[in-house]
Structure 1
Amino acid sequence: MSWEHLHIVSHSFPIVLAASGSAVGLYGWARGREPLELWGLVALVIAGAFVAPAYLTGLAAADVVADRTFVRPGIVQTHRFWATWAAVPAFTAGALAAFALHERDDRRLRRFVLLLGLFATFMIGIAAWQGSKIVHGPNETAAAAQSGG
């Protein structure tokens, strides 16, 4: 399996878990349902855990994708830039969510983390939108190497 495919698989977890965790947690806050807030925090912890694999596989895949003749390097660089800015709040939200689960009585901390998760979701969305401009196709350099030409 190539770095590109590993990135395509691994990046889905932070996207979905940050969005659903923030949405459910904020809904729980609005409705006064603490279990939903806690579920949102758990989702943010898991999303934060998947940020590093998604980011690192993206860095490895960027070199492969940038070598293709039909991909402009600027697109990859823009996606990498926004992915870096998305990884910071997503990882921070995950780490703070773990701490907020430990300190369950601190409602202000829980709600701050949920708002940070919403911000991380926004940043992840920008990075994903920039990444959607990258065309995923066959690796022409690998195909040429295998065919001997």
Structure 2
Amino acid sequence: MNQAHWHLLFNHTPIFGALAGALLLAAGLLKRQDAVLRAGLWALVLGVALGLPAQLTGPGAAQVVKDMPRVSQALIQNHAQAARLGYWVLVATGTLALLGLAQRQPGAPRARQLAWGTLLGAVLSFGLLARAGNLGGQISHPEIREGFGTPDEL
């Protein structure tokens, strides 16, 4: 397996980690269920950990695809920049999640404020990472690029 294979194996984990974390955090906060809230915090931490291999294999994957037909350096750079931004926002969110997990009293007002802030970070992370995923898909899936296969052409 080359770097592109490894990158494709790991690149969805931070996206779904952020989504799962956001959904679980929202449910835990709204229903005031600490176990669900803690599951959301752990999902975010796991998303950060499993997202690291995607970040580390990105440059190698770029080398594999850079000379493929219809792959431009601009597509690769746009994806890489979006992925870095999304991942670093997820890292910051995961740090907040770790702080939330370290709280001794999960129901304390400051712990709830931290959890709401973490939820905001998770939603932002998910949006940024989903965008990065879309940009990455455009590299080797021209059919999802804007203007490809418009109804008039089909």
Same topology, TM > 0.5: yes
SS at match of 1:69: coil
Q: Which residue of 2 aligns with 1:30?
A: 30
Q: Which residue of 1 aligns with 2:2?
A: 2
Q: Which residue of 2 aligns with 1:94?
A: 94
Q: Which residue of 2 aligns with 1:117?
A: 122
Q: What is the TM-score normalised by the length of structure 2?
A: 0.82
For residue 126 of structure 1, the aligned residue among 112, 124, 131 is 131
Residue 44 of structure 1: CA displacement? 0.2
Code of the aligned partner of 1:14: P
Question: Would the aligned equivalents of 1:51 and 1:90 in 2 still touch at CA under 8 Å?
Answer: no
Distance 1:48 1:60 in 2: 20
SS at match of 1:71: coil
SS at match of 2:138: coil
Distance 2:40 2:62 in 1: 31
CA RMSD of superposed structures (Å): 1.4
Q: Which residue of 1 aligns with 2:45?
A: 45
Distance 2:58 2:122 in 1: 21
Q: How many residues align?
A: 136
Distance 2:99 2:31 in 1: 23
Code of the aligned partner of 2:136: G
Question: Would the aligned equivalents of 2:14 and 2:48 in 1 still touch at CA under 8 Å?
Answer: yes
SS at match of 1:67: coil
Distance 2:81 2:104 in 1: 35
Q: Which residue of 2 aligns with 1:107?
A: 112
SS at match of 1:133: helix
Q: Which residue of 2 aligns with 1:147?
A: none
Question: Would the aligned equivalents of 1:48 and 1:92 in 2 still touch at CA under 8 Å?
Answer: no
Code of the aligned partner of 1:20: A
Residue 11 of structure 1: CA displacement? 1.2
Indicate the percent of aligned positions where both proteins have the same amino acid.
30
Question: Would the aligned equivalents of 1:41 and 1:98 in 2 still touch at CA under 8 Å?
Answer: yes
Residue 78 of structure 1: CA displacement? 0.7
Question: Would the aligned equivalents of 1:49 and 1:94 in 2 still touch at CA under 8 Å?
Answer: no
Distance 2:73 2:120 in 1: 34
Question: Would the aligned equivalents of 1:48 and 1:95 in 2 still touch at CA under 8 Å?
Answer: no
Give CA-to-partner distance per residue, 1:88-137, whole Å, 9 cap, x none.
Answer: 1111111221121011432211221121111101110110111110117x
Q: What is the TM-score normalised by the length of structure 1?
A: 0.85
Code of the aligned partner of 2:112: R
Code of the aligned partner of 1:78: N
